[in-house]
Chain A
Amino acid sequence: MLPVLDEEVVRHRIARRIAMDLADGAVVNLGIGIPTLVSDHLPKGVQVLLQTENGVVGAGPKPEKDDLRLIGAGGRCLSLLPGSSIIPSDTSFGLIRGGHLDATVLGALEVDSEANLANWMIPGKMVPGMGGAMDLVTGAKAVYVATTHLDKRGRPKLVRECTLPLTGKGVVSVVVTEFCLVRWQGGRMVLHEISPEVTLDELRENTTMDFDISPDLAPMKGIE
């Protein structure tokens, strides 16, 4: 059994760890949910340019007073920081597909041993649509997956092979959960960091993804 951590601790831990990976000046797109929190945890001295796929480069935090004319991709109002720009959707997705984004951070339903990601639909339930996710995972230089280690029913989300319809094939660069950090390297998923609450055996028991262990395996960074 994996230990049960406070939900807010989990969300902020994952966001903080991903924020530590972002370089100063990076252009980054944040998805809804945990990814949104990444901008709250950037290390001192690191500034990133937030891109929202509906047409802002340089988006700022939710303003005190909502203005529906300035909305983020998740439907939350945003502010425009000095130096930001407004672009139409075709330019926005040109930037995304064209490899101009350094990173995109998204949630997952499943992520697997072959760097495949499923996060847009559950057949027979909801068919919400893929929105911009398929373009983002295809075009961004690095695809960060921010997800709890298990789903709500306690099943691993880091799986051997995705069973749900894919958002992108072989697109994932880094997976961060509350218990570990895994990187796609040399055609393999490689475990680099593990949280102090779990042993490697416990992690394995709750992860069906096929992964290697880095010779430099270290305690997970940025833990509160």
Chain B
Amino acid sequence: MASKLIKPVMSAEEAVSRIKPGASLMVGGFNYAGVPYTLIDALVEQGTGDLHLIANDTLYANDQHPDGVGHGKLVVNGQCRKVTASHVGLNRATQKLYNEGKLELELVPQGSFVERIRCGGFGLGGFLTPTGVGTVHEEGKQVLEVDGRRYILELPLKADVAIIRGYRADRCGNLTYYGTGRNFNPAMATAADLVIAEVDMILAQGDIDPNDVVTPGMLVDILVLKGDGYYATRT
């Protein structure tokens, strides 16, 4: 019997079949970097809807890219019921669907966005941040005063599934990242019930120096090798 330490390697199609309608879905990436493009394309193909997309941004959808780029496609394709993000200004579909009342949009300051995910993954009930105090972001949230300074109570964020993008993986699921592709991926790997990692290469157990590992394999459930799509090959 294969050791549980060895993580299954699947096709993108097989991996995303685990994502069910209505799921909350974290997707790694900031702008073009660190996005699991191959998994997203498979999810677009699968057509799973009613998703709560949790991602820093919704990448691009514009005249140049009418179908969207990366997880921007999930919005264009009408697969999202709700988006939680810090910036959606470069995806016109997100703007349009929100304005038409067809998409719920939760905007979170970027630092609070990642810290909420971190809290979700690390067993914390929330955190107090000065970010957003005195702005509309404060509305509807609990504000506490500590030593004379006001803080917003931000609550943890978790997801059913996280699809993340790494650089190198070993068969144990240990991950390294490349360049600015690191961004939200390590935090998201801690905060979802199922973590699927798309990577550039999958090495044998022990072939990544433990000193170089950023995300420990125990957090990763499924490995998928990146495909030959336009952005997958360029990132």
**Distance (whole angstroms) from the CB of B49 to the closest CB of chain A:** 23
For the complex, what is the distance from the CA of A50 to the CA of B135, rounded to whole Å?
Answer: 27
Q: Does B112 sit within 8 A of A, measured CB to CB?
A: yes
Among candidates A78, A88, A116, A126, residue contacting B89 with C-beta atoms closer than 8 Å: A126
Annotate A125-146 by CB proximity to B: 1 below 8 A, 0 otherwise: 0111111111100110000000
Q: A129, B86: Cβ atoms under 8 Å?
A: yes
Q: For B52, what are the chain A residues with a Cβ–Cβ distance below 8 Å?
A: none
- Which one of A2-10, A67-75, A148-156, A196-204 contacts B? A67-75
Q: A132, B95: Cβ atoms under 8 Å?
A: no
Q: A55, B30: Cβ atoms under 8 Å?
A: yes
Q: B33, A131: Cβ atoms under 8 Å?
A: no
Among candidates A86, A129, A132, A169, residue contacting B88 with C-beta atoms closer than 8 Å: A129
The 8 closest A-B pairs by CB, nearest first: A128-B89, A169-B134, A93-B111, A135-B111, A129-B87, A69-B179, A134-B109, A132-B110
For the complex, what is the distance from the CA of A135 to the CA of B107, rounded to whole Å?
Answer: 13
Q: Does A218 sit within 8 A of B, measured CB to CB?
A: no
Q: For A86, what are the chain B residues with a Cβ–Cβ distance below 8 Å?
A: 177, 179-180, 182
Q: B131, A56: Cβ atoms under 8 Å?
A: no
Q: For B134, what are the chain A residues with a Cβ–Cβ distance below 8 Å?
A: 116, 166, 168-170
**Distance (whole angstroms) from the CB of B217 to the closest CB of chain A:** 17
For the complex, what is the distance from the CA of A86 to the CA of B214, rounded to whole Å?
Answer: 12
Q: For chain B residues 78-95, which have a beta carbon within 8 Å of chain A?
A: 85-90, 95
For the complex, what is the distance from the CA of A169 to the CA of B133, rounded to whole Å?
Answer: 7
**Distance (whole angstroms) from the CB of B205 to the closest CB of chain A:** 25
Report the interface size class on chain A.
35 or more
Chain A residues in the interface with B (C-beta under 8 A): 52-56, 67-73, 75, 78, 80, 86-90, 92-93, 96-97, 116, 126-135, 138-139, 165-170
**Inter-chain CB contacts under 8 Å: number:** 144
Q: B109, A132: Cβ atoms under 8 Å?
A: yes
For the complex, what is the distance from the CA of A170 to the CA of B149, rounded to whole Å?
Answer: 13
**Assuming A127-B105, A130-B107, A169-B134, is B180 touching A55 (CB within 8 A)?**
yes
For the complex, what is the distance from the CA of A67 to the CA of B32, rounded to whole Å?
Answer: 10
For the complex, what is the distance from the CA of A113 to the CA of B105, rounded to whole Å?
Answer: 32
Q: A69, B235: Cβ atoms under 8 Å?
A: yes
For the complex, what is the distance from the CA of A138 to the CA of B231, rounded to whole Å?
Answer: 35
Q: For A75, what are the chain B residues with a Cβ–Cβ distance below 8 Å?
A: 31-32, 90
Q: For A73, what are the chain B residues with a Cβ–Cβ distance below 8 Å?
A: 30
Greatest chain B CB density within 10 A among A55, A132, A134 is at A134
Q: B183, A89: Cβ atoms under 8 Å?
A: yes
